Amino acid sequence: MLSKPKIEVRPIQSKRELDDMYYQRWLVLRAPLGMHRGTEKDKHDKSAFHLVAVCEDKIIGSARLRQLSVELGSIAYVAVLSEFRSQGLGTKLIKKLIEEAQEKNLKSLRLMARINTLGFYKQIGFLEQGKIFDFMGIPHIFMYVNLPPSGDNAGVQ
């Protein structure tokens, strides 16, 4: 019997992997909206922490963490290739970013959730805040989670 290919969730390791990650981000988050290559990047990417899920040398998932202030971080560009969804990969990416944020002593995390992914972030412990707004023609809402200190994850599911 063939064994399942191994999936690794870890930080970006090379320039080539960074480029592959942008392509995967574009495929999942921008191509379906008819947007061109390049629209998947922003000015904060250079200083941000990038996490990827890799299977047989292919980037199948990715997400970004960046620090907004001493206490607040933001998660963005959470993307899993459609054929790898509903296997816990998105959750694993977010939980690893939460650990990273705790190591940076951040106290809370914010993200802009597409409304149709609200349930995904809620099951991890994020809560909605404020009103629904439009971004790129898609309804979004801000969500937050407070982080317990490193090693104590009682508040986060």
- Nearer Cβ to ligand COA, position 49 or 84? 84
Q: Give CA–CA dist 26/79, Å, rounded.
A: 9
Q: Does residue 5 sit in helix, strand or coil?
A: coil
Q: Give CA–CA dist 20/61, Å, rounded.
A: 11
Q: Is position 29 an interface residue for ligand COA (rule: CB under 6 A)?
A: yes
Count of alpha carbons within 13 angstroms of residue 142, beta-carbon side: 9
Q: Pick from 7, 48, 49, 85: which binds ligand COA (CB under 6 A)? A: 85
- Nearer Cβ to ligand COA, position 110 or 114? 114
For ligand COA (CB under 6 A), the number of binding residues is 19
Q: Is position 91 an interface residue for ligand COA (rule: CB under 6 A)?
A: yes
- 49-78 footprint of ligand COA as x/- string (CB under 6 A): -----------------------------x
Stretch in the footprint of ligand COA (CB under 6 A) among 64-72, 84-92, 96-104, 128-136: 84-92
Closest residue to ligand COA, based on beta-carbon distance = 90
- Nearer Cβ to ligand COA, position 14 or 86? 86
Helix (H) or strand (E) holding 16: helix 15-25
Handedness of CA 86, 90, 95, 96 (dihedral sign): positive
Q: Give CA–CA dist 63/49, Å, rounded.
A: 9
Q: Does residue 104 sit in helix, strand or coil?
A: coil
- 99-118 footprint of ligand COA as x/- string (CB under 6 A): --------------xx-xx-
Helix (H) or strand (E) holding 47: none
List of residues contacting ligand COA (CB under 6 A) = 28-29, 78-80, 85-91, 113-114, 116-117, 119-120, 123
